[in-house]
Chains A and B, each alone.
Chain A
């Protein structure tokens, strides 16, 4: 355990997760970040989201002391799609939150300018979420079916809808008419 994890666990309730990450509740997210910053972790490394299949996204942030002698990963499981922006504590979180917003659909309340960072303004959807269907995979027939007989139920939308490798069964299967 680093000194930084002690600091967090003294200021908010949380627990030590895998790889010495400190897991805190969503409502303690900003309190946890400001406690580690006060304790000397003024270097903001990154913030991103993780879609682990739960309804809402997990946030992960990594901070360190400027010498790199101490570092800490903070994790929180969101309970809604909105969370307070960390930009008031770490201005460096600005672009990371913009990217997490466009890629995962998380809204960072209080962010100075939550425009898309990498995607075009007309891009629809949040491509790093697991439920984002990749159009190319959903529309191209998988070439790996052994014969037309095997492919027929797939095409006719019959009961045996075999999704191709790498395509979740919930995605639209092509040629289902």
Chain B
């Protein structure tokens, strides 16, 4: 992870949004609430062991999760509305890109930005 030239500490509210993919069942709440439509998710359903023949159950598993930080307005609505606390603000501010596409970040980066 690149380091900031100025120490930012914890007081930077608009740094970056991180994702805990293990906590996210792809419920799409954040995607639907985002005012600028900058989150995209793909997922698939799998049979869930808690079901049986009479009552089969499925669970939704997250495949991809992408935030386009070129478009994001850093409003925090996704962080606030996530019912599973899977999203969090992180202090990183140093992630400029030389291509507009370079501001789209997937699970790898979003997870890596999490403070553990």
Interface residues of A (CB under 8 A from B): 140, 142-144, 146-147, 164-165
Contacts and interface: CB of A to CB of B under 8 A. Distances in A.
Interface stretch (B11-19, B37-45, B89-97, B99-107): B37-45
B110 to A, nearest CB: 16
B39 to A, nearest CB: 7
Chain A interface helix/strand/loop/mixed: loop
B43 A140 contact: no
Interface string B69-101: 000000000000000000000000000000000
Interface residues of B, number: 9
B57 interface: no
Contact of A143 (B41, B43, B45): B41
A162 to B, nearest CB: 12
Interface of B: 28, 31-32, 37, 39-41, 43, 45
Contacts of A147: 43, 45
Nearest to B40: A143
B27 to A, nearest CB: 9
Given A144-B31, A144-B37, A146-B28, 11 more contacts: A140-B37, A142-B37, A143-B31, A143-B37, A143-B40, A143-B41, A144-B28, A147-B43, A147-B45, A164-B37, A165-B32
B90 to A, nearest CB: 23
Nearest to A144: B32
Nearest to A140: B37
A175 to B, nearest CB: 15
A35 B28 CA distance: 57
A144 to B, nearest CB: 4
A147 B58 CA distance: 14
B47 to A, nearest CB: 16
A164 B35 CA distance: 12
Question: Which 5 A-B pairs rank lowest in CB-CB distance, beginning with the nearest?
Answer: A144-B32, A143-B40, A144-B31, A143-B31, A143-B37
A140 to B, nearest CB: 7
